[in-house]
Every structure is written in C-alpha cells, then in structure tokens.
Chain A
C-alpha cells in the first residue's frame, strides 16, 4: 500500500518555495501562488488527518526502502493535528503578510523562505527517522535565519547573531546525540529505536544520551534555555515574529514529546522529573519576565516562554489525560500566540511606540483591535469557552491523577501571571484617555484586522467546538501513551 499523499504536506510548500523564486519580481503572482498552495496543502492535510483516524497510522517509505533501512514519513493523529494547525495559522498569517510586508522584502524572496520554513516544520512533524528530523530542523532553521535578518536593521543583525550561534551549537549537539545513539543501538528509525531501547533496557548510557536530546530540544523549544528567545522574537517584522512565536518553539516541543513518549520512556524518575523541574523554572522565569518589562514585544515573547513551561508539564506528568491536555494546548497555543504577536505588532505599527506606558486609550480609536486583544487575553488565561480552557483542564486533571501538585500549582499560578501581564498591556494601551486625535489616527488596514479577527474566531471556535477535534486528540494521546501502536504501524510489512 502506498501512501504518497502523506509526503505532500511537505512537498507542496517545498515546490511552491522553489517556483516562487522564479517569480521574484512579480509580487502579485507570488501572492496568488502562495495562497493557492497553502490552501491546497491544508485541504490535503485535513484529508490525511481524517484518513488516519479511520485507517490508523499511515507511513510512506521513501524510494521503497522498507524500515528500518530507509527513511520514512509517519502520519499519526498527533503529527497531523499539528500539521493542520500549522497550515491554518500560516494561511492566516499570509493574509497579514500581504498587507504588512514591504514590497522590497517580497522581492527579496520573503515568500520562498516562508514556504521553506513551513516545509521544514511540516517535515519535522511527519518524519519517522531521527536523522531526517535533524535535516528538517535544519531546513526550518536555515529559512528562519534568512527571515530574521531580512531587512537588515541593526537590531535584527544583533539578535540574529545570537540566534544563529545558539542554534548552530544546539544543532551540533543534536548531531552528537544522534551519533551516540546510533553508536549504542545501531538504528535511527524512531520506531526501531523504541524497540531496541526497550530490548536492551534504558541503562545509564542511554539515559545520558536522552538528556543530550532533552538539552537540544529544550534549546529549540525554549524550555529553561530560553534566554535567546525574547530578543530574537522581538527583532523581525511582525508577521515573521508571529510565525516564529506560533510555530518554531512548537517544533522543539513536538520533538521532545515524541522522543520522550516513544523512545526514552523507561526512566521517568530521571528524565521526566528533569523535564518537570525545567518546566517549573521556565514558568517562574517566564512569569517574572512577562511582568518585568514595559516593552510590548518583550512581554509577548515572555508569554511564549510561559506557555512552553505549561505545555511541558503535560509531558513531565505523562498520563493520558495530561498528554491530551498537552495536545489541546499546543494547538491552542499555535493559534493564540500568532494572534497575540499580530495584535502586538499592529499596535506598534499604529502608534509607532513599543513602550506600553506611552500608549493610552487605543480602544476608542480601534475598538475591534481592543476587543480582539481582550479575547486573546481571556483565551491565554484559560477562561471558558475559549480554546485555552480545555487544555488547562486536562493538564490539571493529569497532574492530579499523577499526584504532581507542585507542577499543578505552579502551572495554574502562571496563568494568573499571564493574565496580569496582558492586563497591564490592556489597561495601559487600551484604557484611559485617548492620545491620538481623529486627524492623526493611522487607519488600520483591512488586511491587518481581518487575520486578527479570523484567528480570534478560531480560538473561540476551538473552544466551543472542541467536540469536533476530541476524537483526533484522544487518538493522538492514545498513540503517545502506547508506543506499540506506533511501532506496529511502522514495522509491519505490507
């Protein structure tokens, strides 16, 4: 049985990126192709998600080389849910890009790099091979290096040096970990790794190797090792920052969840406890950062860090309901972080200021933007019926089941800090006397407010219509809890 279709969510963005290079100076053509391509990819991904639910996990052996020898793509509910969310968010961000990215950037290969980034992200979600994961990470990172420096403002170059050096270092560690792992168990196919590790037992050496992977993915996800993140995510243009905030840390988290549920799940007292400790420190550090700064972009970036800590509580606990919560929260966070970054960027575009105390009364000038910010704030804090609620409930339930009350307490305390940090923005920027007179008002472009409203509708819809994705999420969590399902799907001969 051939499942070539599961390679398409990666190939279409890749091909689109290449084709767009040839239309360098035809901006309108680039926009049309981008939109069509992303919607087509989205359609195919939804179809695959549906098929995975009815037929079980799908796999594609590249070039017909059977596992464990060849490289392969594996589509399970977890990865497909993230792929679909990625594509939805990207499609909406594209609309924002059309109206906010300067023409000069569009001619300097903005869209090709964006599509290569998406190809890398989707590839990382779908791959079933550790080395291929490294390659997809690199595809994603190389494009992100280009996107973060595009424009070449001084701050971008300063931040990109940090961003690139830290990522090159962590990629080197990734490669090192892969080499160690291959040296000790002799395979890189993730399902095969899981079998081999279970056979020989996860001894001290393998546990140390797993901690190298933890280190690598923590750097990418911003778990504990997040000091590079607030700076890097503040530098690039709004839409790029939104893309990074919504997608890049999630890929690190996905890899961490995959590796520590599928391969290294035998020594949870060591690895999962460590993840728990790191998550707690991340939550504390992120909360402090989110209320310490007055710079809008910094506050928003620290909110990314808080959510990383919160999501990985679910992994640290690793019960079925906690993992369900993790998946819900990952999906929610992709949407709502994109929304938060877009709103923050739009505020900066409209006022020309970044410090929150210098703004006031924006809600009278831009009521829709103000109310959308309010919705975002509630959603991030986890107020029902918005999308943040369900994830928090499940992660909380999982923590109680596992008796992890410290994680539970700090996780929920962090929600209050999230709420407080965003409330500060809301009160400073949106409430009070308006300081912009009607004549000076910069009109908000339709292309900017429409994506914001769309994402707002999405977070509301995901909260209310959570029943619609519940079967996929519980299937995904079930697969994560039972590695044998994944192994059987990959290793079976057909």
Chain B
C-alpha cells in the first residue's frame, strides 16, 4: 500500500525554507550568542535530510546536484585555509582578525575572520551528515 504523504510533502515545501533560514540565523549569531558553525550546519543538514525523507534520492539530486563528500572537503579546506591565511598576513597560525566596516544596507557592521572558519565548519557538518545518512539509506 502506498502511503499517502501529501500533507508531509506540502508542509515540507514551506518548512524546509524555515529550517534553512533558521540554520543561517544560528550560524550568524554564533559569534556572541548560542549558535555557530557546528549547530548551524546540523540544522542546515536536517533540512536536506528532510527533503531526502519526503522525496526520493534522484529527485533531490536533480535539485541539489552536489557531491556532499566534496562539500565536506571544501568545508575543511576553508577552515584550514583560514588558519593559513593568517600566516600569509604575518600572524600566528589560526590567528583571527576583526574589523568594523560600513556596509550598504547593514550600516556599521563588525566582521570577524573567524566567520570564515565557522563557515568551513558548517559546510563540513552539512557534507558529513548528509553523506552518512545517504550511505546508510543506500545500503538498506
């Protein structure tokens, strides 16, 4: 018997965007408040996992044509790269910098180089979580 999942499908369409937005919000608030790359990444990946649950693998693959293993690698590259970046600027390995910039729309904003590291963490988490879930589901 085929399960009627029309409610799940309809709700998912909206909820996925809420989850994704919340994930980004958690990621950005991470510097001074609870949140950060790891948690943000987990929330982001939960959105992808929900999509995989509701639809089949091929359907999602068509919409998100990335190899999640490579996304994980890209994340680690970004994180390690941000550490090496400080060496290029003459600092210690993994040293972080901060500065206040005036941006259009946002006005005066302080930006942290640690965000690049965090973005790497987030990408890694997304890549690894989705890869794990996919490998398990493909095996069954």
Q: Which residues of A contact B (CB under 8 A)?
A: 2, 4, 7, 11, 14-15, 18-19, 21-22, 60-64
Contacts and interface: CB of A to CB of B under 8 A. Distances in A.
Contacts, number: 41
B77 A62 contact: no
Contacts of A14: 80
A87 B70 CA distance: 27
Contacts of A22: 70, 73
Interface in B46-86: 69-70, 73, 76-77, 80, 83-84, 86
A63 B76 contact: no
A22 B93 CA distance: 24
User: Which residue of A11, A15, A63 has the most chain B CB atoms within 10 A of its CB atom?
Assistant: A63
Given A18-B77, A18-B80, A62 B69 contact: no
Contacts of B87: 4
Contacts of B77: 15, 18-19
A126 to B, nearest CB: 12
A62 B80 contact: no
11 contacts: A2-B90, A2-B92, A11-B83, A15-B77, A18-B76, A21-B69, A21-B70, A21-B73, A62-B94, A63-B86, A63-B95
A60 B69 contact: no
Interface string B85-123: 011001111111000000000000000000000000000
B133 to A, nearest CB: 18
Given A18-B73, A21-B70, A22-B70, A63 B94 contact: yes
Given A11-B80, A18-B73, 8 more contacts: A14-B80, A18-B76, A21-B69, A21-B73, A60-B92, A62-B95, A64-B91, A64-B95
The secondary-structure label for the interface of chain A is helix
Q: How large is the interface on B (under 10, 10 to 19, 20 to 34, 35 or more residues)?
A: 10 to 19
Contacts of B90: 2
A14 B93 CA distance: 14
A62 B91 CA distance: 10
B31 to A, nearest CB: 15
A4 B92 contact: yes
B84 to A, nearest CB: 7
A304 to B, nearest CB: 32
A312 B70 CA distance: 43
A64 B92 contact: yes
Contacts of B70: 21-22
Nearest to A19: B77
A296 B93 CA distance: 46
Contacts of B76: 18
A18 B70 CA distance: 9
Contacts of B95: 62-64
Contacts of B93: 4, 7, 11, 60, 62-63
A64 B69 CA distance: 32
Contacts of A4: 87, 92-93
Contacts of A62: 92-95
Contacts of B83: 11
Contacts of A2: 90-92
